Amino acid sequence: MISPDTPLHVYEIEGSIRTHLGVSHPSFVGLWNEDDFSYLFFTELQDDYVNKCLTGSDCVLRARHDTLYSEWQDAMPAGGVSIGDLLFVRDDHPSPPRGALLLDPSVVFGDGSHPTTIACLTFMLDLIPETPVRTMLDLGTGTGILSIAAAALGVQRIVAIDQNALAVQTAMKNVRLNRLSSKVAVKEGDARMFVGDAYDLTVANLPFEVLRFIAGLDELTNIRQWIVSGISEAQGAILEELFSSNGFHRTMFRKDHPWVSFVMAGSVLSKK
């Protein structure tokens, strides 16, 4: 767990630097890859190391951002984050309460405090015990918080996906911390490539453009229920129409300005 006053040095690099990274320094937090850029996170200045990695590559250093962890994201409260019966505490908590789930957010989205994460967890608390949900696909897993919660709620097989290498690294660590590797498989890749298999539930807290692409796929109907989040009300209306055209109907809705989240159930579910 990174403390709030820890310095963060973020090297913004145009291009994919991944294959050019040598043996990293202990201060290396991880690689954040997004679109055509790579972001290297360190807790100490590493100009020489980064310049060495750039040598012989087609990548270009565009900027270095120096900040504190507390300015990058809020630290988890000492007492943890509670949603319903779920309690998430820092992985360095001196005495975790019985049943608490351990979490190291690193510099990745998903510590349980964001409204869209809370919405997804709230829906999961309602859906998983009732449906029931045995398998789940977590698209855009971030820290792995939703997958870890699902496993704690009794889901037997969960596949957690993220295209961000640092998110995958963080989610894997959190799954191991909670001894849930037998239930949760974390994979790196584009969320749009993992919709073909059948699942009882898919949770998709993703950018609108990605969700719109997924909502137009024929494979959408392989999944009994969808939790959709991370979008505006206008974007939600577009997505709901796409889901409806594939035989889904909305069963739950939540608005946390400026975000909306909802649950779509497929015709397969209504037959069970």
* 141 and 224 part of one domain: yes
The CATH number of the domain holding residue 143 is 3.40.50.150
Q: What is the pLDDT of residues 200-219, one digit of tens each?
A: 999 999 999 999 999 999 99
Residue 204 to residue 220: CA distance in whole angstroms = 12
Q: How many domains does the chain have?
A: 2
Q: What is the pLDDT of residues 129-174, one digit of tens each?
A: 888 899 999 999 999 999 999 999 999 999 999 999 999 999 999 9
The CATH number of the domain holding residue 45 is 3.30.70
- The amino acid present at 254, given as its one-letter code, is R
The pairing of strands 60-68 and 199-205 is unpaired
Domain containing 129 equals 109-270
Q: What is the DSSP string of 13-32?
A: EES--GGG--SPPTTEEEEE
Instruction: Assess if residue 241 is contained within a domain.
Output: yes
* 118 and 33 part of one domain: no
Least confident range of 16-25, 59-68, 108-117, 262-271: 262-271
* 139 and 52 part of one domain: no
Instruction: Assess if residue 85 is contained within a domain.
Output: no
Q: What is the pLDDT of residues 81-112, one digit of tens each?
A: 999 999 999 999 999 999 999 999 999 988 98
Q: Is the pLDDT of residue 77 over 90?
A: no
Instruction: Assess if residue 96 is contained within a domain.
Output: no
Give the C-alpha distances (Å, rounded to integers) separating 204 from 4, 26, 116, 163, 228: 29, 33, 10, 13, 5
Percent of the chain with pLDDT over 70: 98
Contact between 75 and 106 under an 8 Å Cβ cutoff? The reply is no
* 170 and 248 part of one domain: yes
* 184 and 248 part of one domain: yes
H helices of the chain, in order, are 47-54, 69-72, 115-130, 145-152, 165-177, 208-215, 233-245, 267-270
Average pLDDT over residues 7-33: 92
Where among 46, 72, 98 does a domain terminate? 72
Give the closest residue to 35 by CA, choosing from 54, 15, 55: 15
Q: Is the pLDDT of residue 192 over 70?
A: yes
Q: Is the pLDDT of residue 270 over 50?
A: no
The pairing of strands 101-103 and 86-90 is parallel
Return the pLDDT at 268: 55
* 21 and 136 part of one domain: no
Instruction: Assess if residue 92 is contained within a domain.
Output: no
Q: Is the pLDDT of residue 223 over 60?
A: yes
The answer for residues whose C-beta is within 8 angstroms of residue 77's C-beta and 6 or more apart is: none
Return the pLDDT at 271: 38
* 251 and 169 part of one domain: yes
Torsion 15-143-140-185 (CA) sign: positive
Instruction: Assess if residue 204 is contained within a domain.
Output: yes
Percent of the chain with pLDDT over 90: 85
Instruction: Assess if residue 78 is contained within a domain.
Output: no
Instruction: Assess if residue 205 is contained within a domain.
Output: yes
Confidence of residue 2 (pLDDT cuts 50, 70, 90): confident
Residue 86 to residue 84: CA distance in whole angstroms = 5
Where among 48, 72, 96 does a domain terminate? 72
H or E, element range at 159: strand 157-162
* 37 and 164 part of one domain: no
Which is more confident, 91 or 1? 91
* 139 and 66 part of one domain: no
* 28 and 149 part of one domain: no
Q: Which structure tokens are listed for 64?
A: 């270095």
* 36 and 119 part of one domain: no
* 200 and 154 part of one domain: yes
Strand-by-strand arrangement of the 81-83 sheet: 81-83, 86-90, 101-103
Average pLDDT over residues 58-74: 94
Return the pLDDT at 128: 95
Half-sphere exposure at residue 77, Cβ-oriented, CA atoms within 13 angstroms: 8
Strand-by-strand arrangement of the 199-205 sheet: 184-188, 157-162, 135-139, 199-205, 223-231, 259-265, 249-256
The pairing of strands 199-205 and 184-188 is unpaired
Mean pLDDT, rounded, of the chain: 93
Instruction: Assess if residue 208 is contained within a domain.
Output: yes
Where among 56, 72, 88 does a domain terminate? 72
Q: What is the pLDDT of residues 238-265, one digit of tens each?
A: 999 999 999 999 999 999 999 999 999 9
Contact between 206 and 140 under an 8 Å Cβ cutoff? The reply is yes
